[in-house]
Structure 1
Amino acid sequence: MSLFRKPQPLAVLVVRDAPDVVAALRSALETAPDAERPGLERALALAERSAGRPDAELRGRWVRGRLDAAGYEGPADAVEAIKVLRQAEPGLTLLQAVTYAKETAATEG
Protein backbone atom coordinates (compact mmCIF):
# COMPACT_ATOMS: atom_id res chain seq x y z
CA MET A 1 0.00 0.00 0.00
CA SER A 2 1.43 3.35 -1.04
CA LEU A 3 1.06 6.59 0.84
CA PHE A 4 1.28 8.47 -2.42
CA ARG A 5 -1.72 7.44 -4.45
CA LYS A 6 -2.90 9.05 -7.61
CA PRO A 7 -5.94 11.27 -6.92
CA GLN A 8 -9.29 9.78 -7.84
CA PRO A 9 -11.33 11.62 -10.48
CA LEU A 10 -14.54 13.24 -9.33
CA ALA A 11 -17.46 10.85 -9.65
CA VAL A 12 -20.24 13.36 -10.29
CA LEU A 13 -20.28 14.62 -13.84
CA VAL A 14 -22.15 17.75 -14.70
CA VAL A 15 -24.27 17.29 -17.79
CA ARG A 16 -24.97 20.53 -19.53
CA ASP A 17 -27.92 20.69 -21.88
CA ALA A 18 -28.13 24.46 -21.53
CA PRO A 19 -26.13 25.33 -24.69
CA ASP A 20 -28.50 23.20 -26.77
CA VAL A 21 -31.52 24.77 -25.09
CA VAL A 22 -30.12 28.27 -25.66
CA ALA A 23 -29.54 27.51 -29.34
CA ALA A 24 -33.05 26.11 -29.75
CA LEU A 25 -34.60 29.15 -28.05
CA ARG A 26 -32.61 31.54 -30.26
CA SER A 27 -33.75 29.64 -33.33
CA ALA A 28 -37.38 29.72 -32.20
CA LEU A 29 -37.12 33.44 -31.44
CA GLU A 30 -35.99 34.19 -35.00
CA THR A 31 -39.26 32.93 -36.47
CA ALA A 32 -41.63 33.61 -33.57
CA PRO A 33 -44.74 35.71 -34.00
CA ASP A 34 -44.92 38.90 -31.93
CA ALA A 35 -47.24 37.31 -29.37
CA GLU A 36 -44.70 34.61 -28.51
CA ARG A 37 -41.57 36.81 -28.46
CA PRO A 38 -41.77 38.09 -24.84
CA GLY A 39 -42.06 34.58 -23.44
CA LEU A 40 -39.25 33.24 -25.62
CA GLU A 41 -37.02 36.20 -24.74
CA ARG A 42 -37.58 35.55 -21.02
CA ALA A 43 -36.92 31.83 -21.47
CA LEU A 44 -33.73 32.61 -23.40
CA ALA A 45 -32.48 34.93 -20.65
CA LEU A 46 -33.11 32.25 -18.01
CA ALA A 47 -31.39 29.55 -20.07
CA GLU A 48 -28.36 31.78 -20.69
CA ARG A 49 -28.05 32.50 -16.98
CA SER A 50 -28.25 28.79 -16.20
CA ALA A 51 -25.65 27.95 -18.84
CA GLY A 52 -23.16 30.24 -17.11
CA ARG A 53 -23.23 28.49 -13.75
CA PRO A 54 -19.95 26.82 -12.74
CA ASP A 55 -19.74 23.03 -12.37
CA ALA A 56 -18.99 23.39 -8.65
CA GLU A 57 -22.31 25.15 -8.14
CA LEU A 58 -24.20 22.43 -9.99
CA ARG A 59 -22.44 19.70 -7.98
CA GLY A 60 -23.29 21.67 -4.85
CA ARG A 61 -26.97 21.61 -5.77
CA TRP A 62 -26.68 17.85 -6.33
CA VAL A 63 -25.05 17.35 -2.92
CA ARG A 64 -27.60 19.55 -1.14
CA GLY A 65 -30.37 17.56 -2.80
CA ARG A 66 -28.90 14.29 -1.49
CA LEU A 67 -28.48 15.77 2.00
CA ASP A 68 -32.01 17.20 2.02
CA ALA A 69 -33.48 13.88 0.84
CA ALA A 70 -31.72 12.16 3.75
CA GLY A 71 -33.17 14.71 6.19
CA TYR A 72 -29.86 16.42 6.95
CA GLU A 73 -30.17 20.18 7.41
CA GLY A 74 -26.80 21.21 8.83
CA PRO A 75 -23.70 22.62 7.16
CA ALA A 76 -22.66 20.75 4.04
CA ASP A 77 -19.02 20.46 5.07
CA ALA A 78 -19.65 18.96 8.52
CA VAL A 79 -18.43 15.46 9.29
CA GLU A 80 -22.04 14.31 9.69
CA ALA A 81 -22.92 15.68 6.23
CA ILE A 82 -20.06 13.75 4.66
CA LYS A 83 -21.24 10.60 6.40
CA VAL A 84 -24.81 11.16 5.20
CA LEU A 85 -23.60 11.86 1.66
CA ARG A 86 -21.55 8.66 1.54
CA GLN A 87 -24.51 6.66 2.83
CA ALA A 88 -26.77 8.23 0.21
CA GLU A 89 -24.19 7.63 -2.54
CA PRO A 90 -22.12 4.56 -1.56
CA GLY A 91 -19.95 4.80 -4.67
CA LEU A 92 -18.31 8.02 -3.48
CA THR A 93 -14.87 7.81 -1.96
CA LEU A 94 -14.13 9.74 1.20
CA LEU A 95 -12.00 12.19 -0.80
CA GLN A 96 -14.79 12.78 -3.30
CA ALA A 97 -17.38 13.30 -0.57
CA VAL A 98 -15.13 15.78 1.25
CA THR A 99 -14.40 17.65 -1.98
CA TYR A 100 -18.10 17.90 -2.84
CA ALA A 101 -18.98 18.92 0.71
CA LYS A 102 -16.44 21.77 0.59
CA GLU A 103 -17.71 22.90 -2.82
CA THR A 104 -21.27 22.89 -1.53
CA ALA A 105 -20.39 24.84 1.60
CA ALA A 106 -18.54 27.40 -0.53
CA THR A 107 -21.51 27.91 -2.86
CA GLU A 108 -23.98 28.15 0.04
CA GLY A 109 -21.85 30.56 2.08
Structure 2
Amino acid sequence: MFGQGKSKELNILVLRDADVIAESVRSALAGAAPEERPGLERAVALIEQAAAASDADLRIRWVHERLAAAGYEGPADSVEAIKVLRGAVPGLSLLSAVRLSKEAAAHRP
Protein backbone atom coordinates (compact mmCIF):
# COMPACT_ATOMS: atom_id res chain seq x y z
CA MET A 1 0.00 0.00 0.00
CA PHE A 2 2.92 2.35 0.38
CA GLY A 3 6.48 2.92 -0.69
CA GLN A 4 9.15 5.52 -0.44
CA GLY A 5 10.41 7.71 -3.20
CA LYS A 6 13.76 9.47 -3.36
CA SER A 7 12.47 12.28 -1.15
CA LYS A 8 11.86 9.87 1.75
CA GLU A 9 8.21 10.84 1.76
CA LEU A 10 5.47 8.29 1.70
CA ASN A 11 4.00 7.60 -1.70
CA ILE A 12 0.66 5.92 -1.28
CA LEU A 13 -0.31 3.29 -3.79
CA VAL A 14 -3.85 2.10 -3.25
CA LEU A 15 -4.47 -1.30 -4.76
CA ARG A 16 -7.98 -1.88 -5.93
CA ASP A 17 -9.08 -5.25 -7.17
CA ALA A 18 -12.69 -5.08 -6.03
CA ASP A 19 -13.83 -4.82 -9.65
CA VAL A 20 -12.21 -8.19 -10.46
CA ILE A 21 -13.74 -9.75 -7.36
CA ALA A 22 -17.16 -8.26 -8.15
CA GLU A 23 -17.03 -9.66 -11.68
CA SER A 24 -16.22 -13.13 -10.31
CA VAL A 25 -19.15 -12.98 -7.91
CA ARG A 26 -21.46 -11.66 -10.65
CA SER A 27 -20.38 -14.58 -12.82
CA ALA A 28 -21.20 -17.00 -10.00
CA LEU A 29 -24.53 -15.22 -9.54
CA ALA A 30 -25.42 -15.72 -13.21
CA GLY A 31 -25.30 -19.49 -12.81
CA ALA A 32 -26.42 -19.72 -9.21
CA ALA A 33 -29.22 -21.85 -7.89
CA PRO A 34 -32.18 -19.89 -6.48
CA GLU A 35 -31.17 -20.60 -2.88
CA GLU A 36 -27.67 -19.18 -3.51
CA ARG A 37 -28.83 -15.96 -5.18
CA PRO A 38 -29.64 -13.85 -2.09
CA GLY A 39 -26.20 -14.40 -0.57
CA LEU A 40 -24.40 -13.71 -3.83
CA GLU A 41 -26.51 -10.60 -4.48
CA ARG A 42 -25.58 -9.31 -1.02
CA ALA A 43 -21.91 -10.11 -1.71
CA VAL A 44 -22.01 -8.10 -4.95
CA ALA A 45 -23.56 -5.14 -3.14
CA LEU A 46 -20.89 -5.24 -0.42
CA ILE A 47 -18.08 -5.48 -2.97
CA GLU A 48 -19.49 -2.54 -4.94
CA GLN A 49 -19.70 -0.52 -1.73
CA ALA A 50 -16.05 -1.31 -0.93
CA ALA A 51 -15.03 -0.38 -4.48
CA ALA A 52 -16.69 3.01 -4.10
CA ALA A 53 -14.42 4.01 -1.18
CA SER A 54 -12.11 6.90 -1.99
CA ASP A 55 -8.34 6.70 -1.69
CA ALA A 56 -8.60 8.96 1.37
CA ASP A 57 -11.09 6.56 2.95
CA LEU A 58 -8.67 3.69 2.40
CA ARG A 59 -5.73 5.62 3.90
CA ILE A 60 -7.83 6.61 6.90
CA ARG A 61 -8.95 3.05 7.47
CA TRP A 62 -5.36 1.84 7.10
CA VAL A 63 -4.16 4.27 9.80
CA HIS A 64 -6.94 3.31 12.21
CA GLU A 65 -6.25 -0.39 11.61
CA ARG A 66 -2.51 0.06 12.34
CA LEU A 67 -3.30 1.98 15.53
CA ALA A 68 -5.87 -0.57 16.68
CA ALA A 69 -3.53 -3.48 15.94
CA ALA A 70 -0.96 -1.85 18.21
CA GLY A 71 -3.57 -1.44 20.95
CA TYR A 72 -3.59 2.34 20.69
CA GLU A 73 -6.96 3.96 21.45
CA GLY A 74 -6.15 7.67 21.72
CA PRO A 75 -6.44 10.46 19.17
CA ALA A 76 -5.05 9.55 15.75
CA ASP A 77 -3.07 12.78 15.49
CA SER A 78 -1.32 12.65 18.85
CA VAL A 79 2.44 12.33 19.25
CA GLU A 80 1.90 8.83 20.64
CA ALA A 81 -0.17 7.80 17.61
CA ILE A 82 2.57 9.02 15.29
CA LYS A 83 5.11 6.99 17.26
CA VAL A 84 2.86 3.94 17.02
CA LEU A 85 2.46 4.36 13.26
CA ARG A 86 6.18 4.74 12.73
CA GLY A 87 6.82 1.70 14.92
CA ALA A 88 4.29 -0.35 12.97
CA VAL A 89 5.71 0.66 9.60
CA PRO A 90 9.51 0.72 9.54
CA GLY A 91 10.73 3.37 7.14
CA LEU A 92 7.63 5.57 7.46
CA SER A 93 8.89 9.14 7.57
CA LEU A 94 7.87 11.53 10.30
CA LEU A 95 6.27 13.83 7.72
CA SER A 96 4.23 11.00 6.22
CA ALA A 97 3.14 9.73 9.63
CA VAL A 98 2.02 13.22 10.62
CA ARG A 99 0.08 13.72 7.37
CA LEU A 100 -1.60 10.32 7.64
CA SER A 101 -2.45 10.79 11.31
CA LYS A 102 -3.94 14.24 10.71
CA GLU A 103 -6.06 12.91 7.87
CA ALA A 104 -7.24 10.00 10.02
CA ALA A 105 -8.02 12.26 12.99
CA ALA A 106 -10.14 14.54 10.82
CA HIS A 107 -12.30 11.60 9.73
CA ARG A 108 -12.76 9.27 12.68
CA PRO A 109 -14.67 6.16 11.49
Give the TM-score taking structure 2 as reference length: 0.82
CA contact (8 A) 1:70 1:88 kept: yes
Which amino acid is the alignment partner of residue 71 of structure 1?
Answer: G
Q: Which structure: larger Rg? A: 1
For 2:27, the equivalent position in structure 1 comes to 27
CA drift of 1:13 comes to 2.6
CA drift of 1:69 comes to 2.2
Q: Choose between structure 1 and 2 for higher RCO, CA contacts under 8 A separated by at least 6 residues.
A: 1
For 1:3, the equivalent position in structure 2 comes to none
Tell me whether 46-55 or 12-21 shows the greater mean CA deviation.
12-21
Instruction: Say which structure is richer in strand.
Output: 2
Identity %: 60
Partner SS for 2:10: coil
Which amino acid is the alignment partner of residue 35 of structure 2?
Answer: A
Where does structure 2 lack aligned partners over 5 or more consecutive residues?
1-5
1:16-95 equivalent positions in 2, closer than 5 A: 16-95=16-95
User: Over the residues paired in the alignment, what is the CA RMSD in angstroms?
Assistant: 2.0
